[in-house]
Structure 1
Amino acid sequence: MTKQIRTVLVTGAARGLGAVVARRFHDAGYQVALGDIVIEEAQALARELSTDGSSAFALKLDVTAKADFAAARDTLLERWGSIDVLVNNAGASKVVPVMEITAEQFEQVINVNLRSVLYGCQVFGQYFAHRGAGRIVNIASLAGQNGGSATGAHYAAAKGGAITLTKVFARDLAAYGVTVNAISPGPLDLPVVHESVPADKLEQIIAGIPVGKLGSATYIADIAVLLACAEAGFANGACWDVNGGLYMR
């Protein structure tokens, strides 16, 4: 009997961590949908992964709109017939001192980093529950655990909320064969980090990490693939810390 190919939607997949996660799932044999509002970059990566579009394609996805998640679900079902995994990865922030965060800035960061998790878990959680199987992996952050403000207090608040939503949905969906977990990365060796953090500040950050280096985005992607596998049904409602020892529980 032919083994069914598993499918995954990765949000925020055009660049950074999302691109690494999408590539890792594809390498693991998944059919991968790359959801991003920056559709041109997502399309370029999709063509790199699958020149004929058979195992990877891009779709425009505004994660702050619930209707976009529903449209993405319908597109995947029409194209591949089933969906197995959702990775809520999309995120954004702008570093602003907490006393200076405006209502508009707060709302924007909350929408991208937290509202997106709510909508993704609602839309795909309902589908997975009806199907009787599914995996949701939410990308959180160390900032959401220790209140770190290096990426902005509004970002930290959103990621803390994402961890809480992970637990709520994990409890509600478990009886339907659906698991929901979070991954909470510490500082990662990504271009955006080197571009946004001054070299001297980055040296201080690295010096404070017990393992003495920034994390690799591949570490995060590997854990996402692990949590997504069919055999990972007993991992549920967990927040997987990947921070080099910066935060220990």
Structure 2
Amino acid sequence: MEFSDKVVLVTGTGQGIGRAIAERFSALGAKVFTVSRTASSGQQTVDLIRQAGGEAVFHQADLQHREYVEQSVKAAVAEYGALDVVVHNAAVFPFVGIEELSEEDLEQTLAVNLKAAFWFAQVSIPFLRQSEYGRLLFTSSVTGPRVSMPGLSHYAASKAGLNGFIRSAALEFAKFGVTVNGVEPGLIKTPAMANLGDESNTERMRANIPLKRLGEPGEIAAAMTYLATREAGFVTGQTIVVDGGALLPENPEALEW
């Protein structure tokens, strides 16, 4: 994998998976334009990349608003003169049941997780089609497209919708040679895991994963960078599940084999 002189925009880079994606693209030679809502953590990611010898800049934006999506893409092109890969990784998931779900929580979840995907595609496609090989990538989830969890119905709906968008966008943009794909993480060791409970709850979830561990953010980044390569040019409209085999057991007894 080699991305020298490629310009990569990554959202949600303040921590966890987004930070790992930005760092991996940089380590492979890309110029990384990072986008995050929180300035302190977003700038920290850029500082880490620069300390490692990479090239990156930080742009602050609240992606629940279309105008900030447009500003982010235009700022990336203004900074580097081109755009080759867009990775929309940013997401929100307030942990709340349907009966208590507020209109504000629902709108923010759908706006950042799903609606922003439309706006990134719409605004970036004129630049991606000019690339030698343009890539439009998304961090989806197994929650929604494949499994469910109480308290995350809004998040599940946004990610199921995102997978549908990936397939449709792949058809529309194939004529430009731009591929559209995503990665579906399972349980990944990130600060966001705190939303799902304390360490004892994490341990119970770990026990139900065949590989008996949580995933690492870098393992999601590895799948994402593969989808951005020239070698992945015949892959479009697809998502890669990275979950340690958690979806495989037919029933709990299968884990005791």
**Common fold: TM-score over 0.5:** yes
Residue equivalent to 1:220 = 220
Is the contact between residue 143 and residue 151 of structure 1 (CA under 8 Å) also seen in structure 2?
A: no
In structure 2, C-alpha distance between the alignment counterparts of 1:188 and 1:170, rounded to whole Å: 27
What per-residue deviation string (whole Å, max 9, x for no partner) do you get for residues 16-49 of structure 1? Answer: 2111111111111111011011123212221231
Residue equivalent to 2:253 = none
Moved more, 178-187 or 94-103: 94-103
Please report the TM-score for the alignment, with normalisation by the length of structure 2. Answer: 0.89
% identical equivalent positions: 28
1:67 aligns with 2:67: yes
Match runs of 1:25-40 below 5 Å: 25-40=25-40
Give 1:231 deviation, angstroms: 2.5
Give the counterpart letter for 1:208 in structure 2: N
SS in 1 for 2:181: strand
In structure 2, C-alpha distance between the alignment counterparts of 1:127 and 1:106, rounded to whole Å: 31
Q: Unaligned regions of 5+ residues in structure 2, if any?
A: 250-257
SS in 2 for 1:26: helix
Is the contact between residue 211 and residue 244 of structure 1 (CA under 8 Å) also seen in structure 2?
A: yes
In structure 2, C-alpha distance between the alignment counterparts of 1:17 and 1:131, rounded to whole Å: 25
Is the contact between residue 144 and residue 163 of structure 1 (CA under 8 Å) also seen in structure 2?
A: no
Residue equivalent to 2:57 = 57
Residue equivalent to 2:154 = 154
In structure 2, C-alpha distance between the alignment counterparts of 1:54 and 1:189, rounded to whole Å: 24
Q: Unaligned regions of 5+ residues in structure 1, if any?
A: none
Give 1:54 deviation, angstroms: 7.7
1:233 aligns with 2:233: yes
Is the contact between residue 10 and residue 89 of structure 2 (CA under 8 Å) also seen in structure 1?
A: yes
In structure 2, C-alpha distance between the alignment counterparts of 1:22 and 1:117, rounded to whole Å: 18
Report how many residues are paired: 247
Q: 1:85 to 1:191 in 2, by over 3 A?
A: same
What per-residue deviation string (whole Å, max 9, x for no partner) do you get for residues 49-97 of structure 1? Answer: 126x981000112212222222222222222111110001000111112
Residue equivalent to 1:81 = 81
Q: 1:97 to 1:160 in 2, by over 3 A?
A: same
Match runs of 1:24-173 below 5 Å: 24-50=24-50, 55-129=55-129, 131=131, 133-149=133-149, 152-173=152-173
In structure 2, C-alpha distance between the alignment counterparts of 1:54 and 1:67, rounded to whole Å: 29
What per-residue deviation string (whole Å, max 9, x for no partner) do you get for residues 146-186 of structure 1? Answer: 34225611001101111111111111001101000010000
Give the counterpart letter for 1:11 in structure 2: T
Give 1:102 deviation, angstroms: 2.3
Give 1:99 deviation, angstroms: 2.6
Moved more, 215-224 or 239-248: 239-248
Moved more, 191-200 or 153-162: 191-200
Moved more, 203-212 or 125-134: 125-134
Residue equivalent to 1:208 = 208
1:19 aligns with 2:19: yes
Q: 1:59 to 1:151 in 2, by over 3 A?
A: farther
Give 1:4 deviation, angstroms: 5.6
SS in 2 for 1:181: strand
SS in 1 for 2:241: strand
In structure 1, C-alpha distance between the alignment counterparts of 2:148 and 2:54, rounded to whole Å: 41
In structure 1, C-alpha distance between the alignment counterparts of 2:33 and 2:22, rounded to whole Å: 8
1:244 aligns with 2:244: yes
